[in-house]
Amino acid sequence: MSPTGPDSLPARVRIGYGLGSLATGTFGTVPGLLLLYYLTDVLGVGAGLAGLLVFLPKAWDVLFNPWVGGRSDRSTRSRLGPRRSWMLLGALTLPVCFAGMFAAPAGLEGGPAAAYVAVLFLLSASAYACFQVPYVALPAELTGDPDERARVMAWRVAFLAVAILLSGSVAPILAGATGDDRGSPGGYRLMGVVIGGLLAVGMLAAVLATAGARSVIRTTQDVIRTTRDDTSAPMDVIRTTGGTSLRAQLRAARGNAPFGWLFGAYVVQAAASGLMLAGTQYFATYILDRPGATTVLFACLIVPSLLAMPLWLAVGRRTGKRNAALGASVCFLLGALGAAAGRELPTTAVYVAVAVAGIGYAGVQMLPLAMLGDAIAADAYTSGRRRAGVLTGLWTAGETLGLALGPGLFGLVLAVGGFVSSDATDRVAQPGSALTAIVVGFGALPALLLALSLPLLARYRLTESELMRLRADFDESFAPGEHREPTQRDEESA
């Protein structure tokens, strides 16, 4: 039965919001999976330089994402609804930039090819930020019920898993469709166009499905307009924050301890995920000696993830989201350790280890996002400010940085191991040290990062009951008949 009540959402909004993860999951998967390999094994770019070029455009988002977040906090007058104009901007620009990124002109190799890809990746990352930052901020404003936010997150993570499975399975097949199964320039061009279309579908669906949905958090402009109309003020009254600089946004997050600890853990875990993602094609090609096994590895990761999502949601309700997230992190860690022994284990055992990692991956993706919504709501109730865009701008910047660190670190590990780059027409054998570097980057290093994230995650102590208490206190302070008169500062900001 669908939940009912003042904070429940229509199925159209829950499912439509989740569809946006077709885009976020795809963009989070395909560049991390194939871009480093595209540079080293198709365009002939050295592993160290390729890792740097994959990292730097994403590092730009550390500055750009918070700026988008602050701007989206102010975008309250769009006919589509708050933040939707920014989401629409990303939906219209990312697919084009993404397709161009994998369409390097014929004959372009080495340094010039690296520069071309770096510029297109920078444009793609910026376009993606315009969609992702306001998209992640929406759940805290769509409903005030933590359980309803968890249901929204369940839809989001379900589509996220589908997107990762679909894009991660199909993209390598398309990349090898016009040449050998290791990929060809023509295949990568085809893949860029098809995946770009999938990005457009997911982003536009999220914009249209959530257009016009009411926001449970009101700004001071709402208070001023309500007071002028001589009607009772809304109960949830939040003042929009004004700072959009990175320094101002770090100040905004400094006083939110739950957000800070969760943010640190998530960035470290994102780096672990980015490492495994970047290493998948290399692991399939050089360790399993089956380039087409990339699709099988993804199935082993994502199918158990889909099945495990309801389990982690139930565990989170029973034991608390934090405890469930700790359990999921340990599960992911154990799977990564199994993958680290990939050179000694039979192929079937490797697939089982990846499946264990997939079970943990479901919780690592879903639960922190639900906890983020709780931390944002707690910030609004305690600070009296509408800073969802600011906090999610920092969050997505950190996530992007972590996911970018993964391929960057993997490229560095390959370079240290003596990996030999080549173009699509001149394949070379790799030395034993390079093969060792691949399993270290794919399994051992992610396991170490996941272990480092556990004490950070354990410091997150915002419980569901504490959040409801904060909301009750806030609602009481703005009970009907007791709202304050707008100040001159509120008039000026309106």
pLDDT for res 178: 63
What pLDDT is recorded for position 392? Answer: 73
Q: How far is CA 257 from CA 264, 314, 379, 457, in A?
A: 11, 26, 10, 12
Structure confidence at residue 3 (pLDDT): 52
Global confidence as pTM: 0.75
Q: What is the C-alpha to C-alpha distance for residues 42 and 52, in angstroms, rounded to an integer?
A: 17
Strand partners, 230: none
Per the DSSP assignment, residues forming a β-bridge with 43 are 423
The secondary structure of 452-487 as a DSSP string is HHHHHHHT----HHHHHHHHHHHHHHT-TT-PPPPP
The tokens describing 47, both together, are 């592993």
At how many degrees (to 10) do helices 185-210 and 84-101 cross?
170
**Rounded distance between C-alpha atoms, residue 440 and residue 434, angstroms:** 10
HSE-CB at 344 with a 13 A cutoff on CA atoms is 6
Query: Is 307 exposed, middle or buried (CB count within 10 Å of its CB: 0-12, 13-18, 19+)?
Result: middle
pLDDT score, position 242: 45
User: What pLDDT tens digit does each residue of the chain (494 aa) get?
Assistant: 445 555 577 778 888 888 999 999 899 889 988 999 999 988 889 999 999 988 888 778 777 877 887 777 776 666 777 778 888 999 999 999 999 999 998 877 778 888 999 999 999 999 999 998 888 877 777 776 776 777 777 788 788 878 887 898 899 889 876 666 667 888 899 999 999 999 999 999 998 888 766 655 544 344 333 333 444 334 444 444 444 555 665 666 666 788 888 999 999 999 998 899 889 889 998 999 888 788 888 888 878 888 898 889 889 888 888 899 999 999 999 999 999 998 899 999 999 999 999 999 989 988 888 888 788 877 777 766 666 667 777 787 788 788 888 888 999 999 999 998 877 667 778 889 999 999 999 999 999 999 999 999 999 888 777 777 877 777 666 555 554 444 443 433 33
Task: Give the per-residue pLDDT at 121.
Answer: 94
How far is the C-alpha of 433 from the C-alpha of 427, rounded, in Å?
A: 18
**pLDDT (0 to 100) of residue 490:** 41
Element (H, E) at 396: helix 388-416
The token pair at 421 is 């780059």
Residue 11: closest CA among 147, 209, 158: 209
pLDDT of residue 120: 95
- φ/ψ (deg, to 5) at 483: -70, 150
Closest CA to 99 of 205, 201, 169, 194: 194
